[in-house]
Structure 1
């Protein structure tokens, strides 16, 4: 476990475990390094590094919430690599982390040995964006983590059928904490919502397909939850058509996002790792 300071003075947390070729894990929008707890035991023989973005997990909140953006977070990832003396990494990017991976493939391709995209692509379904905006920046209504786990199981019952309550309890603790006076707090800066709103009105959006196309010369795997509301089947098929060498896996009984310890997820990750040896 460690910390480092970015070039603009924000202290970021990271975990660094194991030995071997380095794998850098980047989580989703409001998530943190704990999200990779389920896949980490399956990555024996590799050095697994997980970074908490600025304003998430155990990293400091940024003075300027508008720095909560993909380009700055990608720069933070490069600065962490430089801090650790790593020239190249295999990058596993879940959702937001996958967008950062595509941005790095476009701007810093020499730093990537391989990429795994977890339930993300160059087009993001509007229904998924609406769902995200419904919760970002809002503390849960539940009184404790047990109630939160039950709520998560209920809300995600259709997208994640059969997931035991114990898994949702773990996920609840990754995402929230119990406040001393009661209720649950966010494990991220609530101003992330302000950043999203501000960036949405900041002009024309980047062409994500241009960023995705930069992965053509980098070994890449793409994982999709069969019930995902963020990565549509149509987009997933377009990704395969534009990147014929793309390793793909669809995870049944999973929405956004797969936990990455499912057999299909592990199969895609292992195939990608084999290509990078």
Structure 2
């Protein structure tokens, strides 16, 4: 992992691998650069850049937790591109990362070669938000990573019915670490929860359709888990109405979010990359 310093003085870590066209991967809300470990082997012909947001993974925690917001994280993404000397990159945004990609479309559309939205859109279903708020900022009451893997398999049995235990064991290690005194810790700042609560209480959320529509001139793909509780099939259809040229894929036996190494997801990503070659 390498690092760079943001304009407000935090050290943010990132992975930079490969020598082809650059792809900037932006992870989910509580996730980090490991969110793309399953995709990486399929992107060998590209330069894959995966960032740990502030307060996630190996990056510095922000003492001002309200800076855990999409606009600041979008600015961090631009500062990373500047640090790397990249005028443009394709963005693959998973969940929160897709919202950041939409935010980048307003004021930084020229930096976006293309965008892949992984199980996220301009409408975030309330059921999915409720599920997320149920776990954000809380350490799991589990003894070790093996127990976490079993718990993940059980919790996601309906959304991800065919995912084997060893895949959940890998995912558990991306999300948690075993503490010296026993139990598991989370790989992000627990104050992220306070930020979400504070932002929810600050007034009405912005109209994300306005940001999505800013992508009208940007090559775009949207991937949806067939069992997703965050991106509905109806919203995906509406997105296609707004952006008729958008590549779409629905991944069977996946909820929120697809791992991106599924054949349907890879087909959509590769089609977009070929479109913008």
Match of 1:197? 197
Look up the match of 2:228: 228
> What residue in structure 1 maps to residue 79 of structure 2?
79
**Aligned partner of residue 211 in structure 1, secondary structure:** helix
Pairwise mapping of residues 132-147 of structure 1 onto structure 2 (< 5 A)? 132-147=132-147
Compute the TM-score of the two structures, normalised by the length of structure 1. 0.99
Equivalent position of 1:122 in the other structure? 122
SS in structure 1 at match of 2:215: helix
In 2, Cα distance between equivalents of 1:199 and 1:245:
33
Alignment partners' CA distance in 2, 1:203 and 1:9: 29
SS of the equivalent of 1:93 reads strand
* C-alpha separation in 2, matches of 1:168 and 1:80: 30
| Structure 2 SS opposite 1:249 | strand
| Moved beyond 2 Å, runs of 4+ | none
Match of 1:184 in 2: 184
Alpha-carbon distance in structure 1 between the residues aligned to 2:153 and 2:145: 12
In structure 1, C-alpha distance between the alignment counterparts of 2:204 and 2:130, rounded to whole Å: 19
Offset from partner CA, 1:19-55 (integer Å, 9 cap, x none)? 0110000000000000100001101111000000000
> Which residue number in structure 2 is paired with residue 251 of structure 1?
251
* 1:68-107 alignment, distance < 5 Å: 68-107=68-107
TM-score, length basis structure 2: 0.99
* Alignment partners' CA distance in 2, 1:125 and 1:112: 26
TM-superposed CA distance for 1:105, in Å, is 1.1
3-state SS of paired residue (2:250): strand
Aligned-CA RMSD value: 0.5
In structure 2, the residue matched to 1:162 is: 162
State the shift of 1:204 in Å: 2.2
Gaps of 5+ in 2: none
C-alpha deviations, 1:143-190, integer Å up to 9, x for none? Answer: 000000000000000100110000000000000000000000010000
Aligned residues: 277
Match of 2:14 in 1: 14
Name the residue aligned to 2:37: 37
CA distance in 2, matches of 1:71, 1:136: 20
- Give SS of 2:106's match: helix
Matched residues in 1 for 2:272 and 2:215: separation?
13
Shift of 1:205: 1.3
